[in-house]
Amino acid sequence: MANTITVLYFARLRETFGMASENMALPYDVASLEGVRATLAARGGVWAHELAAGRAFRAAVNQDIASADTAVKAGDEVAFFPPVTGG
């Protein structure tokens, strides 16, 4: 638990990945949102496709919209989702 983060997926990404959330061990050399994205994309398949750099997805860290260089540490809640379409 000490070195894990919670990762949430919403809408199309939740369906494509087949899960709404997971606990992920934070690799020792990962300290940013970009690092988390690259770790997930390295799983290959739909992960590599949907989370490729330059794809139109959004992310949040601890429920605030985040960018590639946003810091991520153990215990954080990270979320990946498509561009929003409410209203």
Partner 1 sequence: MSVTVRVQSEDFDISKEIAFLRRDNPRIGAIASFIGVVRDMNEGDSVAEMTLEHYPGMTEKSVEDIITQACDRWQVMDAVVIHRIGTLKPLDQIVLVVVSSAHRGDAFAACEFIMDFLKTRAPFWKKEQTGKGARWVDARAADDAAAERWQR
Which residues of this chain interact with partner 1, rule CB under 8 A?
Answer: 8, 10-12, 56, 60, 63-65, 79, 81-87
Query: In this complex, which beta carbon is closest to partner 1, that of residue 28 or of residue 54?
Result: 54
If the CB atoms of residues 3 and 67 are measured against partner 1, the closer one turns out to be 67
Q: What is the DSSP string of the chain?
A: -TTEEEEEE-HHHHHHHT-SEEEEE--TT--BHHHHHHHHHTT-HHHHHHT-TTSS-EEEETTEE--TT-B--TT-EEEEEPPP---
Write down the least CB distance from residue 85 to partner 1, Å. 4
Kindly state the smallest distance separating residue 29's Cβ from partner 1, in Å.
Answer: 27
